[in-house]
Structure 1
């Protein structure tokens, strides 16, 4: 499970910014059984979900971008980058002190009975430092250093002994590649375990469902357990769909001009990108009635042309959500509520905040503008986070649990009033519509 994630000097976050999943003792009685997991070995409790609020351009999405970059770089820096390639970090640009300094990332997480703390500092040219620690409280209540990197100086624990010998013999560590990523390629056991953890993290970034709908459609086509849950969920959300058919269209590369226009355009786009071509046709099954509302038949309609943007996004979301719940992994979603009714969103959140539907303790992290979710029946105070940007363009992230509020306060009302921050300050716009005559009179 994810315990904590921190970034510094990355995009709009100049100072160190941290989101923690450690439940506060102040809120100990609130939604304790549903929203909190007791981690006995480590003597603390972890939250199953977190929501991030903030005004437009405050940095909500950029915080998720940082976590997505961390994952990508850990998995791919040893295989998909070459010597001399630039590292895709973006230091805070609006300050002369930080624009040329490295960006920093650190994450704390638990796998089985072990807690790991991993992080690195990097600029566009090279890794400045990198570290990995582990803690097993059933043995010793302190961290053990597994490796530490400071520019071209390295220290390794015995778990990395073979990797250390390879480095001394062949100087295999590149300036722009992470030790953790490289050690995974050389089959260091603990590195493979950790990289697998990051591979299981899922990110749904961007508002367009076609970025991530493929997984959901494939699950339905394969009639997997996840695919069955997707269809049953859509039925129960009163959308009017009684079933979904998904089938792959096999295409002769030389004879595709007779395809429907929408499919043909997708096919041509994929060919240009030289990607593996898989065209999926999706049909929504609706019931048809006569003039007296007697059931006549079930008819299939093209899903993309018939169903609303909200229904299409719901279908795209459900696959990754059920995969996360099945595997007990963490899922990051940018603007979960976009195009969806608040009642549907709250039900999706409650899938994670439930021991029945979430027995493996998957975690959901998302950002939103939907203030209806600021409800003490859905979230505890320590699950609610705000991103606020100051006049110098610097963003900070903080929890509602850090703010002194009265008991039984209306979270939504206070937030919209600006009591917690994370809302835009909007100047008067009415004078934009004043006539030149009125301006002269003034």
Structure 2
């Protein structure tokens, strides 16, 4: 069976959050010959498997991830998020009337796909989707334009030539498509062999592009450990390797009545009704306000069960003790949330984007995790993250084209640039260079020496 890569190639954003001008982030390799196993190749195009984005607080690192997340949300939900109107670049008077522009390029199922959209005042002004096949032929799949309060659509030649498709096109233009609805999302719901590329691209966005924020919870972790013995063994072995004190991960199952207790009859009935009335939805998740964890709610042959993780530790005299999620440290919880990432990025062709990868985790553990992924020559996934952790700035871990910086210019707009722009030799200590300000993207703290903070304090009484 032929293995199919699925990877992010590039992302471009304009006039959203702290991005004023058109700003590009990409995973295209430069000329360096080091760490060649970091390059994945599809259709004669090479894409990097790893990237780290550095920058001072407020420089716009997280805004890049938020922008990607918003585009994904728009295409999956088939509607324009309000942020496209309320979160335009605000430090210029002209941008309020200008559209938000975004584009994304990725490959999956042996095709490279490119999607671009322009949005203003809740209306999609321009939308474009194309594919690049293995033979190098670039084909426009659709182009949608809004002019004079009217939407027009152009499809690829083969589609336009068939008479029945002309009728479908007219129906889409006049009856089905709304001005605030992505054509990409609408076509994904229509059964037509000509839209197979749409469905493959939609699947990549939905299943292969995962974005993790500092407060993201690994909702599926309970079920993954419960159903997959190999993943459980991987999870236990990983947690033991990090000296968390955890020696086993167990699943505790209770009826929903026992779990929620008395006084929750109405909530119990609502949950039961939701799962029983939707046979295809056998699994749900809900927050446990006591332990601050997400627990799995499962329809098990008509009986609604709640499953949660229990952590086994070994005490004195080799006795076993069980701990709840709330009793574990923040660092341990964060590592648990990374378990599906670590497992999938090794064995599956998926793209994971993590904001603040070092949150609540010791710097040495973060470096070990990234180093292991960097050194592994048979990984299948792609890891992109933002960080402040300078210990990762090591040319044994990263290629220069895998390290990016975010910095704001004189008008407060974020610009992105790569370490490869500086053409550093592979023997240079890039961590030292970064901390000394050689590459920019660090906080300017010189004025703190002149700050007389005592004058702001009340006199002692």
Which TM bucket (shorter chain)?
A: 0.7 to 0.9
User: 2:274 — aligned with what?
Assistant: none
Question: How much does 1:279 deviate?
Answer: 4.9
Where structure 2 has 5 or more consecutive residues not aligned to the other structure, the ranges are: 1-6, 265-286, 456-461
- Aligned residues of 2:70 and 2:81 also touching (Cα < 8 A): no
- Aligned residues of 1:88 and 1:124 also touching (Cα < 8 A): no
CA distance in 2, matches of 1:379, 1:434: 40
Question: How much does 1:380 deviate?
Answer: 0.7
Question: How much does 1:266 deviate?
Answer: 5.4
Counting only pairs closer than 5 Å after superposition, residues 149-228 of structure 1 correspond to structure 2 as: 149-151=144-146, 152-158=151-157, 160=159, 165-169=167-171, 171=174, 172-187=176-191, 188-208=195-215, 211-228=216-233
Counting only pairs closer than 5 Å after superposition, residues 400-415 of structure 1 correspond to structure 2 as: 400-415=419-434
CA distance in 2, matches of 1:434, 1:105: 43
Where structure 1 has 5 or more consecutive residues not aligned to the other structure, the ranges are: 271-275, 290-294, 437-442
1:111 aligns with 2:116: no
1:54 aligns with 2:55: yes
CA distance in 2, matches of 1:279, 1:228: 22
Deviations 1:178-225 (A, max 9, x none): 1111100113322111100111234444323xx322222221122343
CA distance in 1, matches of 2:334, 2:324: 15
CA distance in 2, matches of 1:234, 1:86: 38
Distance 1:435 1:312, change over 3 A: closer
User: 1:238 — aligned with what?
Assistant: 243
1:136 aligns with 2:140: no
- Aligned residues of 2:74 and 2:81 also touching (Cα < 8 A): no
Question: How much does 1:406 deviate?
Answer: 4.4
129-138 vs 10-19, greater mean Cα deviation = 129-138
Question: How much does 1:323 deviate?
Answer: 3.0
1:370 aligns with 2:389: yes
Question: How much does 1:351 deviate?
Answer: 4.9
CA distance in 2, matches of 1:267, 1:362: 32
Question: How much does 1:368 deviate?
Answer: 0.3
Correspondence for 2:314 among 279, 287, 300: 287
* Matched residue SS, 2:62: helix
Deviations 1:360-383 (A, max 9, x none): x31111100000000011111000
Question: How much does 1:175 deviate?
Answer: 0.5
336-345 vs 309-318, greater mean Cα deviation = 336-345
- Aligned residues of 1:148 and 1:156 also touching (Cα < 8 A): yes
Distance 1:247 1:134, change over 3 A: same
User: 1:327 — aligned with what?
Assistant: 348
Counting only pairs closer than 5 Å after superposition, residues 321-400 of structure 1 correspond to structure 2 as: 321-355=342-376, 358=379, 361-400=380-419
CA distance in 2, matches of 1:46, 1:7: 20
User: 2:435 — aligned with what?
Assistant: 416
CA distance in 2, matches of 1:254, 1:376: 50
Question: How much does 1:36 deviate?
Answer: 1.8
CA distance in 1, matches of 2:109, 2:292: 46
Distance 1:364 1:269, change over 3 A: closer
Deviations 1:365-420 (A, max 9, x none): 11000000000111110000000012311001110001233451111111011110
TM-score under structure 1 normalisation?
Answer: 0.84
CA distance in 1, matches of 2:104, 2:360: 31
User: 2:77 — aligned with what?
Assistant: 76
Distance 1:159 1:425, change over 3 A: farther
- RMSD between superposed Cα atoms in Å: 2.9
User: 1:146 — aligned with what?
Assistant: 141
User: 1:120 — aligned with what?
Assistant: 117
CA distance in 2, matches of 1:265, 1:196: 33
User: 2:234 — aligned with what?
Assistant: 229
Deviations 1:407-440 (A, max 9, x none): 511111110111101101123334444766xxxx
* Matched residue SS, 1:117: strand
Deviations 1:111-137 (A, max 9, x none): 232222111111231101011122224
Distance 1:264 1:302, change over 3 A: closer
- Aligned residues of 1:352 and 1:363 also touching (Cα < 8 A): no
Question: How much does 1:300 deviate?
Answer: 1.4
CA distance in 2, matches of 1:406, 1:311: 38
